[in-house]
Amino acid sequence: MKLKFILFITLFSVAFVSCQDEMDVPRATTGVTIVYPDNVQALTILEETLVFTNVSTGENVTVPVNENFDLPRGLYNCSYKADVTYQTTSEGATSNPDEGEAGDDHTQESETVTMQGKLSGKLESVEINSNEKLNLSIETFLFSDKDDFIIEEIFFTGTLRSSGSQYYGDSYVKIYNNTDHVLYADGLALCESKFKSTQYFDYTPDIRKDTFTVWAIYVIPGSGKEHPVQPGESLILCDTGIDHRNANPNSFDLSAADFEWYDESTKPSHMDIDSPTVPNLDKWYCYTLSFWVLHNRGFCSYALARIPIDKETYLRDYYYTYSYTMYLPAGTFPMQQSAYKIPNSWIVDGVNCSVEAARVWDILPPNVDAGWTHCGKIDHDKERYFKSVRRKVAGFENGRCILQDTNNSSDDFNTECVPSIIEQQGTAKDAQGTKASTVTWDGVMPKTESNK
């Protein structure tokens, strides 16, 4: 009896202290105004969520939209998501009345169509510590299903030799047909950002809302229907399409990849390898004078785009010159640089990558990717090698794998996975040569007889 009494007193004391601690945490009243896109007609909100994430603790707090609420003081990231309907107008076709019968102008009236889509917006590093009410504003972006390829996997970290040294050439990007019909890969462009997620400047002019600044563009060749991809099938775009195990036993075989990016280097000491078994992507532009490799610490963003104009027109009309100021201990330095740009409306899918300890911003705007993904916890993380980011499985339909695509890489991707090709070939997953023994759909869900 005495033991029970002591236990009761102890639990009561813990509960009282916990409640008292919670009451003692300073809180601040906050209000959020959602700014909806001004170019959208008849917008109707079906479902919406507003989440504040405490940067220090990682705790997520879902708060009411368009109402005041209290939060413990601290540093927060904030994200808004909504399922919506909106209207768009399709213009009617009009023929020349002289070509028809008298009085018949063959004019078709414009038609208003109701569409479904999603809104997203976010704020980062919001400091909530004021004694007065804090009023925030979140600008939202509309995105809808592009009915095109998505990025399934990015393997940018590379492998290591048994000596522990970095090996180059075996990086790849997997693209996936997540639809229920055949897609054609002809003309699809793979692009890497020029800007880095770990370094931000006030770029002038600032065109990020509408445009993606790139320094590498490689396009799948073809006249339109030369490269069909069935529903649930992938294509592998790789750095060098050879069996890399000949140079590094800890690597794997890419000699059967679908395409490789190949560069005619002007640096005799840094020559690229042109695979005899893997066709080349059409190189539209790349910054390097030697050969392109994916940023192996994951500081860049990647996008798939459909460029609706020819190469010559693009290279002539989509050059972007911008200025910014570098503030260093040695002084202030005005800078000017140039790059090519891709209108965000051409992008069919995009993925922001970074490293949490060094991340400053997301290069792609929220209507393309409202989140980010990673391999490695810190810059130069030695544990990042042999790992990729892989898109999560959302479900299965008639035996076809459906991958998750909410335009938010923080939600859509599994991080630090064993790459799919390493799993499939049973090759090394570390510098010690340990062989992969499990095959998964997305780096987490095992492939079994029941879900194949």
**Interatomic CA distance for residues 110 and 88, integer angstroms:** 10
Residue with tokens 């909806």: 36
pLDDT average, residue stretch 178-203: 96
Residue 119's pLDDT band (cuts 50, 70, 90): confident
pLDDT, tens digit, for every residue of 71-91? 888 899 898 989 899 887 644
pLDDT average, residue stretch 22-32: 73
Coil, strand or helix: which one is 365? coil
pLDDT of residue 452: 64
pLDDT, tens digit, for every residue of 131-160? 778 889 998 888 767 899 999 999 999 999
pLDDT, tens digit, for every residue of 293-304? 999 999 999 999
Domain boundaries, the chain: 27-90+110-144, 150-425
Report the sign of the C-alpha dihedral through residues 306, 407, 156, 170, in that order.
negative
pLDDT, tens digit, for every residue of 329-360? 999 999 999 999 999 999 999 999 999 899 99
pLDDT, tens digit, for every residue of 159-187? 999 999 999 999 999 999 999 999 999 99
pLDDT, tens digit, for every residue of 222-269? 999 999 999 999 999 999 999 999 999 999 999 999 999 999 988 888
- Given a contact cutoff of 8 angstroms between Cβ atoms, the answer to whether 164 and 401 are in contact is no
**Interatomic CA distance for residues 436 and 193, integer angstroms:** 32
Pick the CATH number of 27-90+110-144 from 2.60.40.2100, 3.60.21.10, 2.60.40.1530, 3.20.20.70: 2.60.40.2100
Task: Return the C-alpha torsion angle 347, 137, 63, 364, nearest 10.
Answer: 20
- Given a contact cutoff of 8 angstroms between Cβ atoms, the answer to whether 354 and 374 are in contact is yes
**Interatomic CA distance for residues 144 and 147, integer angstroms:** 9
Which helix (H) or strand (E) segment is 14 a member of? helix 2-24
Report the sign of the C-alpha dihedral through residues 375, 377, 382, 383, in that order.
negative
**Interatomic CA distance for residues 390 and 285, integer angstroms:** 27
